[in-house]
A and B are shown apart, each in its own frame.
Chain A
């Protein structure tokens, strides 16, 4: 069965650079979530989209923005990167408020 796809799987950036993370949800899933997991930390909810509209917002910095496109894939844009942004970024998708299925994550390292 198709799973959530995230790209890239690994990303290395310098401070103050910009990064774009992509998420491709499971087909027919209409809701996408983004989470950030710092080293040794629990996943923290960033933002979610339902039917291409932002549905909920968590602890997402103002330097980050996200959107969901007409094909339901989502992108997380991160600007003015800081060392503290180094983390695993997970995307999850669901059909409405059914169970969330998580992707493998993108490991972002900021040098």
Chain B
């Protein structure tokens, strides 16, 4: 089954710096989504980017998608302590809607105050 792999697995940065997390996947996609998960808590949907889009913004979040390289990146600008969480990418295969999510392995982001 298709699965995204996040890179790095763990990232620690100072508050105020930018954080970049990458996701690579194996097969074609309909769309790619990023989720945040605070420790032991539920998943929160952050942003969705479709296969025909290259970049998308939402507040301090910027997502890029390169379908030729089968990769996506999530940039969080001006990081805050509250951004400390695990971040997962999830893909949806072609010809499916969001009912067919497959999650990647996640990046653990720690923001140091």
Q: Which residues of A contact B (CB under 8 A)?
A: 31, 33, 35, 41-45, 48, 50, 55-56, 88, 90, 92, 94, 96-105, 107
Segment from B50-58, B63-71, B73-81, B102-110 that makes contact with A: B102-110
Evaluate contact between A100 and B41: CB separation under 8 angstroms: no
Question: Chain B 25-49 against A: per-residue CB contact (8 Å), 1 yes, 0 no?
Answer: 0000000000100001111110010
A42/B43 in contact, CB under 8 A: no
- Distance of A50 Cα from B97 Cα, bound (Å): 13
What is B's interface to A at a CB cutoff of 8 Å?
3, 35, 40-45, 48, 88, 96-106
B45 pairs with A90, CB closer than 8 A:
no
How many A-B contacts if CB must be within 8 Å?
56
Beyond A42-B88, A104-B41, A107-B40, is A97–B103 a contact (Cβ under 8 Å)?
no
Interface of A is mostly: strand
Closest 8 CB pairs of A and B: A97-B97, A102-B43, A42-B103, A104-B42, A97-B99, A43-B103, A102-B42, A42-B105
Q: Is the CB of A97 within 8 A of B96?
A: yes
Q: Are A31 and B88 in contact (CB under 8 A)?
A: no
